[in-house]
Structure 1
Amino acid sequence: MALFRVERTSALPVGECWRRVTRWRRHADTVPFTRIIVRTRPPDARGTVFVARTALGPFGFDDPMEVVDWRPPTEAGSAPEPDPGPAARARTGGAAEGWCRLVKRGRVVTGWAEITVRTRAGGSQVVWREDMRVRFLPRTCDPLLVVACRLVFGRALDSLLSTGTSAERER
């Protein structure tokens, strides 16, 4: 599998960064030839299912994903979520951090992705870790896949976290 990591910092608060990187449909605006269909009702949480369809003309594939863990950051004054247990607390590192894990369940692309958003001085840090396997692609191609994924996902995070108000970003 091709394991890669992309990190970005932002002046945005952790809650806004979380909102932007977990608006699954918005990812289609940043990944060429891709559209995203969320198959479950909002709000997003554990159990959310969505499909990224990447196609050029009649050639394409579906990348179905499921959110299997979901720990959004808590904001001051908001109701706390039920305690998920020590393992999840260890992963999130506290209330000012959000973490989710996606599992890719496709015929072509398999693996997992983890998104962490944490408070940093002057804003937030976003870390996207992913372990991806493309069926029918030999493992000798993994280093090239890692480079391509870092470019695509780095560009996606740059776009999702770019400045502008929430209302402007939703247009």
Structure 2
Amino acid sequence: MSRFRIERTVPLPPAEVWRRITDWPAHGARIPFTRTTVLTDGPNAVGTLFTARTGLGRLAFDDPMEVVRFDPPAAGRPGVCRLVKRGRAVRGSAVFEVTGEEAGGAGSRSRVVWVEELRLRGVPAVFDPVLAAAGRLLFGRALDGLLGKDTAVG
């Protein structure tokens, strides 16, 4: 299973960062050739289902996901969201953690950690390091876009 980790610190409050990184359609808008559709009604919560469809025409695959943990950040407690990937082509999980940080009197900042573990059907484990590097690059750019490219400081 391929595993990668992305970290960013941004000059935004945790609640705003949480709102941005749990906007599932916005993820799709940041990943090339991908569209994300939320399949459940109501606000984000445990049990929310969505699918990211990546590709062009008939050369596409679905990445169905379910939110299995959804704890927004609160005073003195980080926010944690865990997704499980339940597709035929893509299996694994993703965890997002948002922690508030003091910015030395200049307002609040947040630290985001995104950890992803995935397996692509038909891709041998020997390619896991390549898949992890590609995931870090692709999802790192998506995260930068979600957070506002000019706001990322690390």
User: Structure 2-normalised TM-score?
Assistant: 0.90
Would you say 1:120 and 2:106 are equivalent positions?
no
- Displacement of 1:121 in angstroms is 2.5
- Displacement of 1:163 in angstroms is 6.5
Q: Distance in 1 between matches of 2:24 and 2:61?
A: 17
Task: State the match for 1:99 in structure 2.
Answer: 80
Q: Distance in 1 between matches of 2:125 and 2:73?
A: 36
- The SS at the match of 2:129 is helix
- Segments of structure 2 that go 5 or more residues without pairing to the other structure are 104-108
- The SS at the match of 1:159 is helix
Q: Distance in 2 between matches of 1:49 and 1:131?
A: 18
- Displacement of 1:120 in angstroms is 1.5
Q: Distance in 1 between matches of 2:102 and 2:2?
A: 31
- The SS at the match of 2:141 is helix
- The SS at the match of 1:140 is helix
Q: Distance in 1 between matches of 2:37 and 2:131?
A: 24
Q: Distance in 2 between matches of 1:50 and 1:140?
A: 29
Q: Distance in 1 between matches of 2:92 and 2:112?
A: 20
Would you say 1:147 and 2:133 are equivalent positions?
yes
Higher strand residue share: 2
- Displacement of 1:59 in angstroms is 0.4
Q: Distance in 1 between matches of 2:5 and 2:62?
A: 23
Task: State the match for 1:65 in structure 2.
Answer: 65
- Displacement of 1:41 in angstroms is 1.1
- Segments of structure 1 that go 5 or more residues without pairing to the other structure are 76-93, 165-171
- The SS at the match of 1:47 is coil
Task: State the match for 1:35 in structure 2.
Answer: 35
Aligned length: 145
- Displacement of 1:111 in angstroms is 0.3
Task: State the match for 1:132 in structure 2.
Answer: 118
RMSD of equivalent CA atoms = 1.3
Q: Distance in 1 between matches of 2:41 and 2:133?
A: 34
Would you say 1:162 and 2:148 are equivalent positions?
yes
**Structure 1 segments of 4+ aligned residues over 3 angstroms from their partners:** none
Q: Distance in 2 between matches of 1:3 and 1:53?
A: 21
Over residues 86-106 of structure 1, what are the superposed CA-to-partner deviations in whole Å (9 max), with x where a residue is unaligned?
xxxxxxxx43x1001100000
Q: Distance in 2 between matches of 1:13 and 1:147?
A: 29
